[in-house]
């Protein structure tokens, strides 16, 4: 069964042969202001109807400028996007307070730039992550891991990751490094294993872990990546660079602008979609007071 983006984006669902495939990674590329955050919040919010609970939003923007997630969520869906702050260090009480169960937003991974900026040379001539940075980063994971685990345990099956900045060499991006690690070791970690890593000592929390197992292969991730290219044609022709997460993604969407008569129109198309039928159609969309409208 496919995971529909939203009934309000039925055109996109049709373009993707019914929607996104559960358990897969979709990457949406587009310039700042093109509507990626609107798309991400729409996908996360529709989890309420599709899965019984909304998706979670991991904001990796680290420049200090708001991407207006909370404003958009409130205006479009009457959704108060509360930040998750609950941190679980080893052997600490793992369970989040009641109000955090409704906290679907986290910005704990706020580093941007080149991975080299967070590394130091080794005597062998290689580079490794600076231990001071690694300690701070690992502490941030004490927030991100329970943020995801407890929401997955409660039924969330959608993850939106926003704020990834353009990089000439994606393989050298600290954001790509962090996303890849979270995707492999948290989002698609077997539920029992992740629960045992967070809920220590295991013997004490075994009943909770066993009662809240979920199928990690059904969790669908939407990664929003900002590009320097703004025109749709340039995005379609964009080459996948070494280390670009789009190379391994199941689905790639591009969102760009094109001149139509005397105006600049926003256009969207799918350039990659494995597992079901895909349309090669290019569709125009608009950002309205009710979100994204296609066609």
pLDDT tens digits along 24-40: 999 999 999 999 999 99
Note whether residue 2 is domain-resident: no
Phi, psi of 26 (to 5 degrees): -115, 135
Question: For residue range 65-107, what is the model confidence (pLDDT) as tens digits?
Answer: 557 899 999 999 999 999 999 999 999 999 999 999 999 999 9
| Structure tokens belonging to residue 134 | 């690694």
The domain that holds 189 is classified in CATH as: 3.40.50.300
Residue found under tokens 């295991």? 202
In 3-state terms, what secondary structure has residue 258? strand
Q: With 60 as the cut, is the pLDDT of residue 125 above it?
A: yes
Determine how β-strand 158-164 pairs with β-strand 56-59.
parallel
Compute the Cα dihedral for 238, 239, 245, 250 and give only its sign. Answer: positive
In 3-state terms, what secondary structure has residue 96? coil
Note whether residue 275 is domain-resident: yes
pLDDT of residue 209: 98
Domain containing residue 120: 7-294
Calculate mean pLDDT across residues 174-194.
97
Spell out the residues 6+ positions from residue 284 whose beta carbon is closer than 8 angstroms to its own.
260, 265, 266, 267, 268, 294, 295
Note whether residue 107 is domain-resident: yes
Q: Are 261 and 190 in contact (CB under 8 A)?
A: no
Calculate mean pLDDT across residues 51-57.
96
pLDDT of residue 240: 80
Note whether residue 100 is domain-resident: yes
| Domain count for the chain | 1
Count of all residues that appear for the chain in the document: 295
pLDDT of residue 295: 74
Question: For residue range 246-268, what is the model confidence (pLDDT) as tens digits?
Answer: 999 999 999 999 998 889 999 99
Calculate mean pLDDT across residues 139-143.
98
Note whether residue 50 is domain-resident: yes
pLDDT of residue 292: 86
pLDDT of residue 214: 98
pLDDT of residue 6: 59
Percentage helix, strand, coil, to 5, in the chain? Answer: 35, 25, 40
Closest CA to 150 of 199, 107, 200: 199
Note whether residue 1 is domain-resident: no
Phi-psi region of 84 (alpha: psi -120 to 50; beta: other; left: phi over 0): beta
């Amino acid at each position: 069964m496919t995971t529909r983006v939203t009934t309000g984006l039925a055109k996109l669902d049709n373009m993707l042969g019914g929607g996104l495939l559960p358990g897969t990674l979709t990457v949406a590329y587009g310039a700042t202001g093109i509507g990626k955050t609107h798309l991400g919040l729409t996908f996360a919010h529709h989890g309420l109807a599709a899965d019984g609970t909304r998706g979670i939003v991991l904001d990796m923007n680290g420049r200090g400028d708001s991407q207006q997630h909370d404003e958009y969520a409130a205006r479009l869906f009457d959704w108060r996007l509360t930040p998750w702050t609950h941190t679980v260090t080893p052997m600490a009480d793992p369970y989040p307070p009641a109000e955090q169960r409704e906290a679907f937003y986290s910005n704990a991974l706020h580093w941007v730039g080149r991975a080299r900026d967070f590394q130091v040379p080794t005597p062998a001539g290689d580079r490794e992550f600076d231990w001071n940075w690694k300690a701070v980063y690992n502490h941030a994971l004490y927030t991100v891991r329970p943020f995801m685990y407890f929401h997955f345990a409660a039924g969330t099956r959608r993850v939106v990751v926003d704020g990834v900045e353009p990089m000439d060499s994606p393989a050298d991006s600290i954001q790509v490094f962090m996303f890849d690690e979270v995707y492999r070791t948290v989002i698609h970690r077997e539920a029992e294993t992740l629960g045992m890593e967070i809920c220590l000592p295991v013997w004490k929390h075994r009943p909770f872990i066993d009662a809240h197992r979920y199928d990690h292969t059904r969790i669908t991730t939407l990664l929003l990546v900002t590009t320097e290219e703004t025109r749709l044609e340039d995005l379609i022709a964009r080459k996948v660079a070494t280390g670009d997460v789009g190379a391994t993604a199941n689905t790639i969407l591009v969102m760009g602008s094109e001149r139509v008569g005397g105006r600049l129109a926003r256009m969207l198309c799918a350039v990659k979609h494995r597992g079901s039928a895909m349309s090669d159609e290019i569709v125009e969309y608009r950002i309205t007071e009710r979100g994204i409208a296609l066609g």
